[in-house]
Amino acid sequence: MSEVEVFHEKQRLELCAIHALNNVLQERVFTKETADEICKRLAPQCVVNPHRSVLGTGNYDVNVIMAALQSRGLAAVWWDKRRSVQSLCLDKVQGFILNVPSRVSLGIVSLPLRRRHWLAVRQVNGHYYNLDSKLKGPVCIGGETELRSFLSEQLSQDVAEMLLVVQREVEDDGTWLVAEDSRK
């Protein structure tokens, strides 16, 4: 599979949440304007909206991502990092949105600061791809074994978090976990 066939939005402003949503959905569905509308719905009485940057450049929080997915009939399941990624039922997961630490840079100069960054991972034609908007293009992770290694490595960072993107009924019935783990 060539990288050209995999949808991949690149980083612009602080819109990584929008890019992660579109990359996990494999189409341009959400824009800054639609995300700003979601922010207004989430906090209609607020002059300074708590779900985005006060500068209006993006930096949307998890509530915006969850509401955006719900508008598409999907759900975001917060992954408990104490679980092993081996307990994921990958057939039931449409994709992953991770929140990871990221270096701050001004042009070619990297600053000693770290911020939070949203990125997407998704299977396309049997291969899993890292669809991080800061990458020049999609990067093939490989199959299920390589995906589990990649996710474990990402989640080993203290402040990294992961959302599973699933159909609503999969969230409701808990089938995103393999059977023996769903009883715990």
Active site residues: 16, 117, 132
What own/partner pairs with CB < 8 Å and gap ≥ 24 does 174-180 have?
175/89, 175/92, 176/77, 176/88, 176/89, 176/92, 176/93, 177/87, 177/88, 177/89, 178/86, 178/87, 178/88, 178/89
In the block, tokens 């509401």 appear at 67
- Inter-residue contact 88 to 106 (CB < 8 Å): no
Helix (H, G, I), strand (E, B) or coil at 7: coil
Q: Do 175 and 89 form a contact (C-beta atoms < 8 A)? A: yes
For 106, 117, 170, the CA distances from 109, given in Å and listed in that order, are 5, 18, 44
